[in-house]
Amino acid sequence: MANEVSFPVGQGVTREHALKIDAWWEDRRSIIQPSEFLLGEDGKVVASSYCAGPLGRMDAADVIKLVQLFEGRKAEANKS
């Protein structure tokens, strides 16, 4: 799937990676639980979601609304 999108996709996450982003690491299956980030143009995190199980992932439609909100605020600020 990573080859089909125009943005970076993280894979092969290790326990050390999980610790660096303060994510929930599941020892039983050696996997990271959902840890999602929306980055601004400057590379800083503007929204994040951490989960300790399969529920709570960011919904694509909600992320689009959030991006539109940030873009609208930026457009309003640039009018001033």
List pLDDT tens digits, range 17-30.
999 988 999 999 99
Q: 1: pLDDT confidence band, cut at 50, 70 and 90?
A: low
How does pLDDT run across 23-60, given as a tens digit for each residue? 999 999 998 888 888 988 898 999 998 888 777 788 88
Residues 8-30 as b/e (b if ≥16 CB within 10 A, e otherwise) read: eeeeebeeeebeeeebebeeeee
The pTM of this model reads: 0.68
What pLDDT is attached to residue 72?
94
**Which of 47, 28, 49 shows the shortest CA–CA distance to 39?**
47
Query: What is the domain extent for residue 8?
Result: 2-79
Instruction: Give the total number of structural domains in the chain.
Output: 1
